[in-house]
Amino acid sequence: MKIPLIVIAVAGAALSQTAWGAAKPINLVPNTANPSPDYFCTWNIQGYYSSYADHAAQLDAVQESQLFGKGANQDWLGQYPKVKHDLIFLMDEGWDLPKEDVTVVPGRFPSYATGSQPERFKALSDAIKGRGWRGLGLWMRADVKTPDFWTERFQWSNSSGVLYWKVDYGDREGDEQWRHELTDLGRKLAPGLTLETAKAPHSIAWADTYRTYDVDGIVAIPQTLARVVGELQYKAAPPAKGLINCEDEMYMGAALGCCYGVMRHGFTGNLPSGRQDFVFPPVTRNLKLRLDEVTRAVRWHRIAPAFAVGANPTLTSKENFTDNWHFLKDESWEVSEGNERTMSAPATVARGLPLPTISLASGTVKPYVIASRNPNGAVSVATLGRTLSHGAEDRQWITGENADVSLEVGANTGPIGIFGRYHTLTLVFDKSMRGRKILAQDLAGDTAKDITRQVRITDKQIVIPGELIDRVGLSAATPGDKSEPGLVLVVR
């Protein structure tokens, strides 16, 4: 049961005074560029376009016509119009086929096939930036090549403005020394390039970014959270950026200071072949109907960028939650129909803050709750839903709507990002909040609202009803989008 709202008057948009005395709306989301190396990855849009017919078809989907064309399931560069200037457009495996020698292939990109390879890269990179993206990223195979080979490719990337290399699987995928040497070479020859590592967990201590790697969509929350917690045991030493990339778990990344490798895309419904999209099945979260979560999480990074492992202490609860799912037909890319998968992760995780506490207003299932204090002072907190099933007939997706969450924010010096669903969220400060003004704004929107009279302030605590979080945090929602709320709150 929802607690009653304490409302004296309905507050409108927050206003400030211009030099001429006229009121103007306040926008809590800055227009400055997102500094985190976040990207949109084409792998699953390749799969959708090719109906995941086979691996070769998925690789072959990376073509100029798909990126720039206007036909069915083309115009990949048209994804995420509100935040694409904050995102690197990363072409995944297949972009440099048939030879896979890290070159712009004329057969795939005919409009960019003239001139030297550096000139081709620059023309393609400029064209992608011209469509509004932050820049170009490239998939790289972790294979043995000569030093001259990698030196030349780094020089090409540096001169053409390529921003990111996703160094993935291959003969050297788990070879930490090889990955370290490649990263060191890249720092010398292409200082503006971010190199991603994977498959070697300790590498985050010296790497730019470490990707937690592929997961199944339905049980991705505990699977990814457990991997993130595993990386948080390390400490990055300069010149390492030491950033965790938690891929498509947007609110997890926003609340724990990770960067994103966005995988969901806007091509909804069944695959072109008519088969159900088994990578993004229309059950539990139905991620392809949650594109606003990407917008909100990316815009939060303008306020609170991803930060390095070891930048502040990490706490994890002794209690673990265990999720499971009984899979029906076409609900997974790796689990067959009729099988189950079970995954566990800590119930609560915090970076630079005390662990949040959870109680339930009703029901028996608590959500995961995670939080962090950014080095710049911003605080973020999220509830993450649970997948629980008892055979094929009893399968549930359970959010935090019945959870009463309390978080000690202490001497908070920055904005507070709130993600997910709650019954109530209590923010506990180290000084009285009486007489303060509370502003809040959907991270997908551009106008703050004064919610002071809609929250409960009791000395050092601000209690925010979950229905207020829903109302404000979804106020700029795209029609038909099923995302959970995400908002920024400021105490003045």
Residue 144: band (very low, low, confident or very high) from pLDDT cuts 50, 70, 90: confident
What the block records as the tokens of 291 is 């594109």
Can you give 330-386 as a three-state secondary structure string?
Answer: CCCCCCCCCCEEEEEEECEEEECCCCCEEEECCCCCCCEEEEEECCCCCEEEEEECE
pLDDT at 4: 36
For the chain, counts of helices (H) and of strands (E): 10, 27
Q: What are the CA-CA distances from residue 82 to residues 39, 126, 299, 482 (Å)? A: 14, 19, 9, 17
pLDDT tens figures, 63-91 = 999 999 999 999 999 999 999 999 999 99
User: Which letter, b or e, does each residue of 50-84 get, where b requires 16 or more Cβ atoms within 10 Å of its Cβ?
Assistant: bbbeeeeebbbbbbbebbbeeeebbbbbebbeebb
pLDDT at 412: 77
CB 186 within 8 Å of CB 196:
no
Q: pTM of the full predicted structure?
A: 0.95
CB 209 within 8 Å of CB 259:
yes
Please state the domain extents for the chain.
Answer: 39-199+260-303
The percentage of the chain sitting over the pLDDT mark of 70, rounded to a whole number, equals 95
CB 420 within 8 Å of CB 290:
no
Residue 48: band (very low, low, confident or very high) from pLDDT cuts 50, 70, 90: very high
Residue 358: band (very low, low, confident or very high) from pLDDT cuts 50, 70, 90: very high
pLDDT tens figures, 164-207 = 999 999 999 999 999 999 999 999 999 999 999 999 999 999 99
Whether residue 11 is predicted with pLDDT greater than 50 in this model: the reply is no
Q: What are the CA-CA distances from residue 440 to residues 29, 387, 464 (Å)? A: 11, 30, 11
Q: What are the CA-CA distances from residue 244 to residues 37, 96, 210 (Å)? A: 10, 26, 5
Residue 22: band (very low, low, confident or very high) from pLDDT cuts 50, 70, 90: low
